Structure 1
Amino acid sequence: MQLGIHDIPLFIVSGLLLNIAPGPDSILIMTRSATQGWRAGSAAALGIGAGTCVHVLAAALGLSALLAASSWAFTLLKWVGAAYLVWIGLQMLLARRRRDGEAASTSGEAAASVALPLRKVFVQGFLSNVLNPKVALFFLAFVPQFIAPDAPHKALAFIVLGAIFNFNGMLWCHFLALSTAFASARLRVGGALAQWLNRAIGALFLSFGLKLALSER
């Protein structure tokens, strides 16, 4: 079936370059990998991928176009997304190491304070992505460039391209999770360093949230 998709190689290369560009999603994956290991980083990546699926389907069904056209809807989602990023940042900034009557003797014990269950890491990745209205507008602006104006099944073509973009993005995100966990293990990130890393990343997420809140459409 002819979908009217064109310039697939350019789409794939452009998508990979866009995924490699640093942002809140990449920072979240690296933070979880550095403090909890590659499984946590992969859980965050899968959550981000699930959020991307929501954006792709919304754009294909026209919901993102409604978001782009509605000032109040965009503003509402922007403020919710900004509040969530700020909340993540504050959680990281205010995290304290747990003490069970005595100081932790190993880096694993010392890092327990910043550890989250993998289910919660997945949800964190999902919400940080799906609540960002700029991701929705990105798909509306980027993907249609690779669909012919006379394509017979534009929504299906959009979903196919979105799936390709998300698949390539997941390859990069899981590579980022594995490489960050490997580098963290080689550098022997201990509890104190993990705590300060968590606080630094928390400040970064706080800045992301404030930047989103203050941004224009």
Structure 2
Amino acid sequence: MTVFDTLLLFALASLLVSMAPGPTTVVIIRQSIDAGRPAGIATVLGNETGWLAWCLAAAFGLSALLLASRLAYDVLRVAGAAVLIWFGVQALLRARRSIRRDASDGTGGTGGTSATPRRRSRWRCYRMGLLTNLANPKAGVFALSFLPQFVPDGAPVLPTLLLLAAASTLIDLAWYLGVVVAVCQVRRLFQRPAVRRRVEYLSGVVLVALGVRLAVGD
């Protein structure tokens, strides 16, 4: 297999990895629906910072510590689960507050689109994307096992791993920016109070479930 074939295979594999749904996808979609394109983009940038950090850790061998130390892995795993569960609970609480607000307004959540879009700090969105990615130790273990497979024979290992880390991050960035654009195209539909409340409930339940799964997983 030539170097070009290896890099092409790496690009395809990276894209398929990016397309696999997970906590990151849920958070990015919810932020895009809730606060618009700038919030979604900020969340994506935070996620990519986290993924690049894991890839660099893998390139320098730091992620191997997660494999070598069960305690370190478990501590990070439980902390990550707590982060995901906290994000999920916040979404569920927002949905519950929305029901109470609609009841007090007498609309019952059947009105048109929200007249006042939610404003959200881009830094807060960036931080949420970053924490969602860094909170998952499986991302570090995956990066450690994924990147070295695509180092061509005879190539300098560290420079090649750094190049693959950057390429993987750019591919992931392109995919999630596409997701943000697609979601924002139909955002008006999701701004209906009843629909937005269902999205909050669904994202909250999914994040809590993923957090619990991470907490009790192997």
Q: Report the residue type matching 2:182 in the other structure.
A: S
Return the offset for 1:204: 0.5
Q: Secondary structure at the match of 1:63?
A: coil
Match of 2:161 in 1: 158
Q: For 1:6-52, what per-residue CA distance to the aligned partner results, in whole angstroms no more than 9, with x for missing partners? A: 70000001110110111111111111112221211111111100101
**1:116 and 2:120 are equivalent in the alignment:** yes
Compared CA separation, residues 5 and 156, structure 1 to 2 (3 A): farther
Return the offset for 1:106: 6.9
Return the offset for 1:5: 8.9
Could you tell me whether the CA contact under 8 Å between 1:110 and 1:191 is conserved in 2? no
Q: Distance in 2 between matches of 1:126 and 1:118?
A: 12
Compared CA separation, residues 5 and 79, structure 1 to 2 (3 A): farther
Q: Distance in 1 between matches of 2:192 and 2:130?
A: 28
Of residues 164, 167, 180 in structure 1, which corresponds to 2:183? 180
Match of 2:77 in 1: 78
Q: Secondary structure at the match of 1:196?
A: helix
Return the offset for 1:148: 3.7
CA RMSD of aligned residues (A): 2.2
Compared CA separation, residues 205 and 110, structure 1 to 2 (3 A): farther
Q: Distance in 2 between matches of 1:129 and 1:23?
A: 10
TM-score by length of structure 1 reads: 0.87
Instruction: Mark the runs of 5 or more structure 2 residues left unpaired by the alignment.
Output: none
Count of residue pairs brought into register by the alignment: 207
Of residues 198, 201, 204 in structure 2, which corresponds to 1:202? 204
Instruction: Mark the runs of 5 or more structure 1 residues left unpaired by the alignment.
Output: none
Q: Percent identity?
A: 32
Return the offset for 1:108: 3.6
**1:145 and 2:149 are equivalent in the alignment:** yes
Q: Report the residue type matching 1:21 in the other structure.
A: A
Q: Secondary structure at the match of 2:191?
A: coil
Q: Distance in 2 between matches of 1:32 and 1:22?
A: 16
Return the offset for 1:147: 1.0
Q: Distance in 2 between matches of 1:29 and 1:94?
A: 18
Q: Distance in 1 between matches of 2:192 and 2:186?
A: 13
Q: Distance in 2 between matches of 1:85 and 1:16?
A: 24
Return the offset for 1:181: 1.1
Q: Secondary structure at the match of 1:7?
A: helix
Match of 1:193 in 2: 195
Could you tell me whether the CA contact under 8 Å between 2:190 and 2:196 is conserved in 1? no
Structure 1 segment 1-217 matched on structure 2, within 5 A? 7-95=6-94, 96-97=97-98, 103=105, 107-109=113-115, 112=118, 116-148=120-152, 150-152=154-156, 154-185=157-188, 187=189, 189-216=191-218
Moved more, 4-13 or 76-85: 4-13
Q: For 1:100-128, what per-residue CA distance to the aligned partner results, in whole angstroms no more than 9, with x for missing partners? A: xx84987445663xx53221111000000
Return the offset for 1:88: 0.3
TM-score by length of structure 2 reads: 0.87
Could you tell me whether the CA contact under 8 Å between 1:5 and 1:157 is conserved in 2? no
Return the offset for 1:192: 3.2
Could you tell me whether the CA contact under 8 Å between 2:114 and 2:191 is conserved in 1? no
